[in-house]
Structure 1
Amino acid sequence: MSLKIVHVLLLLIFTAGLGKENKAFAQNIAGDTLRITIKEAEGRFLKNNLSLLAAQYQIDHEMAEIITASLFNNPEIGFENILYNPDTRKFFDMSYDGGQYTGLISQLFQTAGKRNKNIQLAKIGARQAGYEFFDLLRTLKYTLRTNFNKIYFQQASLDVYDQEISSLSTTLAAFKKQYAAGNIAQHELLRIQSQLYALQTEKNELQEDIDAAQYEFKLLIRVDPKIRILPMVGVLQPVKEKLAQVPYKLLLDSAYNNRYDLKLAKGNVAYSDLNLRLQQAMAVPDITVSLTYDKYGSTVRDYTGLGINIPLPLFNRNQGAIKQAKIAIQSSKNNLERQQDEMESEIDQSFQAAFRLEKLEESFDPGFKNDFNHLIEEVTKNYQKRNLSLLEFLDFYDSYKTNVVQYNELQMNRMNSLEQLNFVTGTQFFNK
């Protein structure tokens, strides 16, 4: 067999390999595969995610604390009866002439607005639980959307590896026969083997990244781990949103208004302020009012008395708790300032990263991937005319793979940079 015939056979094998790979991929997605859009994924996430459900229970727990803080102290009632009366020689003597017993009822009244302050603290605690819930929602939603993008774009890159590996594997089998027949040189066979092994190694690394993203994504929406996720986003195309459409000041203002972790930090300051007032109020003694009845034990028969008990704040005036509350105020204020500084830095860094990726994407030619079929035809014609060598022909496929993978990675990074801006501002400005 002449070398020219081998070249033609190579082209047929490449074309057949691509067709077989596409058919195999279509059959694969017909199995245990969940085709899902980002909106459907978010719906499953909100309904099924266990972390969100646990956070909702925490809100209910804090709401119950408001009920507890609103309750008044229970009154206390006491009764005392004589154990043994030596005059009548009776145990538990309750007779009119010889019996003796005492009754007491008392009620504690909190002073200095302690009850109202406790109610307000419980309400702040409930709001804080709500802020924690929505901040958790913001974080998990960001993870969900970035993993969705990662699975989609890396799977698109993986398809290219599958196509080339399938084609090269078929080509390698054919070349081994031709090498055994003495029709091709050994270095050509080794060149194909080397490229095939390199592609398989790269594919394995990419597959590990996809598996990690699939694992986390399936946990978030809570589906069977054996199911394969297939993101549905329509035709692959450049990101349409431009940063210029959203002014930087709007991003910053939105973060100050919508970041729940910042609201949580502000709530901590309010909680600390109110807690200081509560601890200062705790230094004011509470009053216990009591009503007593004593049948025989007092100077008069059937004694009734009204009593008031007030502790004297001579030694314990809650000094330690008041000092701790003052320290907590300063600490919460410092934490708020730190969080504001971090937030502004995050927005600036995320904006600059998204801006660089936007410019880089604009420099790429999106028509490269769309025109691949036309390029294949041209390269094939030149290879048939012996204008291209085998190595040049294989290098074209390698260049195509590199460009597609790089472009997919750029698209993924670009979309995730916008998701990062959504995350740091607490607002869905992009990728709606």
Structure 2
Amino acid sequence: MNKKILAFLILVWTTNQTVSQPDPASGGAPGSLGETLYTDAKIAAASGDQDRTQVRLDLAKAEELLWKNNLLLLAAKYDIDARKAGIEQAGLYANPNIFLDQSIYVEPSGRYFDSTRSGQTVFQIQQVFLLGGKIDKRVRVAELNAKMGEQEFYDLARALLTKLRRTFYFIHYYREAIAFYDKSLIALEKTVNSAELAYKRRAVLQSEVLRLKALLFFLRKEREDLRIKVLEKEADLRVLLNEESYKNQGIAIVPVLDLDFVEKAPIENLKLDAMLSKAREYRPDLKKAVHALRYEEANLELQHANAIPDLGIGPMYNRGGTAFQSYWGITAQFNIPIFDRNQGNIKAAEKNVQVRKQELKNLILEVENEVNVALATAKAKDNLYRKFRNTYTKDYSDLAEDMILSYEKRYISILEFADFFETYRSSIVEMLRLQTDRMEAIEGVNYSVGTGLIVPSPKTNGESGATEGGSK
């Protein structure tokens, strides 16, 4: 495969110089890398996107649509409302019990359901009073459960925002890589056509023509693999945004990046201690773990309260069933905690408190290491990018014209020429991948901290920078 790529690069660039003649109207110099040989329409036709409508989308608009339309976030909001309804339910008092006893048949009078003075009627109302502060403790447990639901929502939002931004950067840079392949493929197709004409004139061997066609197939397959990945990411983006105007498969989503932010992202200014402090403050999963511990502690208090029996008390009226014709009394009901003192639930709650403590300690360790790795990865990617962004590919681009002229005049061999352009192609593609990895690493920093530590600022004066906030 590498040999085929090498041969392809040789023929692409030699075709631009020896087979393709420059358009005098364009004013371009022969062999110039900056020369526009093909129109955008031709490139679109080669890329397979000529029938798709391109819609530009900036990151701020995408995040706004995510918060507004994402179905998972909407479902999480309903879950929070459901848990808050549990708070209302926990604070309600028990309903009163009504007891009615009416005689069916009275033998002396021979009447059925006799409700007069000759019959018997018993009527009783009883209200259960929860002792031991059960209601307040139930409300506390329900409140902590609702807070856990809120942190689950923010943790989900954190994951979805990170996925959105990474998908955004992936589509942008892979589209640039596809554009690089598109221009090369158009040149190769022109080379194949020229080689076929040369073969008819017996100027080249048939084996060279067949090898060119094979190269065209493999290069197009390599390009299509990238295009499929972009289509998959576009599908992910459509699911994340859930926007009606983007659901049509005939729409190609074109991300618009804040290039000033991309170039000046202040990664080198990040300090590990400050990041750890912000992670403890903002990480929703860490907050959820804290609330989970408090929830179990509140549940332990509730289980101790449940060991206290509740009191049922209320008035009673009995007509014709006692020594008095009309009897008024009061009833009381109280369970004696001899066998069941809720000891099993209390022990389980105590163990659950220990479980949550250990889980919290483990999560703190995970967060610290995650932040450390995210920072180290981001700095490594950023340093590599900044080291080569202005010299690495630029030097190859400046040297390309001289290499073409040298090959035309036979100053260099075909192997030297092929080696140079293979390195040049790899450099362009790898630089685009490095840019993608770098932006993903930046999002890894934001994700590990739990807030938008490095995100584009709102455009107020044309400048961009970093903002912070739990909603980012």
- Equivalence map 1:223-262=2 (5 Å): 223-224=246-247, 226=249, 227-233=251-257, 239-262=263-286
- Counterpart position of 2:390: 366
CA distance in 2: counterparts of 1:261 and 1:286, whole angstroms: 38
- Equivalence map 1:338-357=2 (5 Å): 338-357=362-381
- Counterpart position of 1:286: 310
Which of 89, 101, 106 is residue 110 of structure 2 equivalent to? 89
- Counterpart position of 1:160: 180
**Aligned-residue CA RMSD in angstroms?**
2.7
> Residues 315 and 129 (structure 1 numbering): CA distance in 2 closer, same or farther, change over 3 Å?
same
Which residue identity lines up with residue 448 of structure 2 in the other structure? V
Which of 18, 21, 26 is residue 8 of structure 1 equivalent to? 18
- Counterpart position of 1:399: 423
- Counterpart position of 2:434: 410
Deviations along 1:16-44, one digit per CA (max 9) or x if unpaired, are: 99643633346847842321011111011
TM-score by length of 1: 0.91
In the TM superposition, residue 203 of structure 1 has moved relative to its aligned partner by: 1.4
Which residue identity lines up with residue 366 of structure 1 in the other structure? N
CA distance in 2: counterparts of 1:5 and 1:257, whole angstroms: 60
CA distance in 2: counterparts of 1:24 and 1:319, whole angstroms: 79
Which of 47, 53, 65 is residue 74 of structure 2 equivalent to? 53
- Counterpart position of 2:169: 149
> Residues 411 and 139 (structure 1 numbering): CA distance in 2 closer, same or farther, change over 3 Å?
same
> Residues 188 and 21 (structure 1 numbering): CA distance in 2 closer, same or farther, change over 3 Å?
farther
In the TM superposition, residue 360 of structure 1 has moved relative to its aligned partner by: 1.4
- Structure 2 residues without counterparts, runs of 5 or longer: 1-13, 24-30, 457-472
Of 162-171 and 52-61, deviating more is 162-171
Which of 291, 302, 313 is residue 337 of structure 2 equivalent to? 313
Which residue identity lines up with residue 364 of structure 2 in the other structure? Q
> Residues 122 and 354 (structure 1 numbering): CA distance in 2 closer, same or farther, change over 3 Å?
same
Is the contact between residue 241 and residue 430 of structure 1 (CA under 8 Å) also seen in structure 2? yes
Is the contact between residue 215 and residue 225 of structure 1 (CA under 8 Å) also seen in structure 2? no
TM-score by length of 2: 0.84
Is the contact between residue 16 and residue 187 of structure 2 (CA under 8 Å) also seen in structure 1? no
Deviations along 1:359-409, one digit per CA (max 9) or x if unpaired, are: 211331435556777555444544554546666656555433211111111
Paired residue secondary structure (1:243): coil
Paired residue secondary structure (2:303): helix
CA distance in 2: counterparts of 1:347 and 1:313, whole angstroms: 52
- Structure 1 residues without counterparts, runs of 5 or longer: none
Of 9-18 and 249-258, deviating more is 9-18
Is the contact between residue 289 and residue 356 of structure 2 (CA under 8 Å) also seen in structure 1? yes
- Counterpart position of 2:204: 184
Of 107-116 and 359-368, deviating more is 359-368
CA distance in 2: counterparts of 1:413 and 1:359, whole angstroms: 12
Is the contact between residue 269 and residue 332 of structure 1 (CA under 8 Å) also seen in structure 2? yes
In the TM superposition, residue 270 of structure 1 has moved relative to its aligned partner by: 0.3
Deviations along 1:329-349, one digit per CA (max 9) or x if unpaired, are: 111111111111111111111
Of 268-277 and 27-36, deviating more is 27-36
CA distance in 2: counterparts of 1:408 and 1:428, whole angstroms: 24
Q: How many residues align?
A: 428
In the TM superposition, residue 236 of structure 1 has moved relative to its aligned partner by: 8.8
What percent of counterpart residues are identical? 29
- Counterpart position of 1:65: 86
Paired residue secondary structure (1:429): coil
Q: Does 1:38 align with 2:59?
A: yes
Q: Does 1:304 align with 2:328?
A: yes
Deviations along 1:123-164, one digit per CA (max 9) or x if unpaired, are: 111111111100100011000001101111111111111111
Q: Does 1:79 align with 2:100?
A: yes
Is the contact between residue 15 and residue 187 of structure 2 (CA under 8 Å) also seen in structure 1? no
CA distance in 2: counterparts of 1:237 and 1:298, whole angstroms: 90
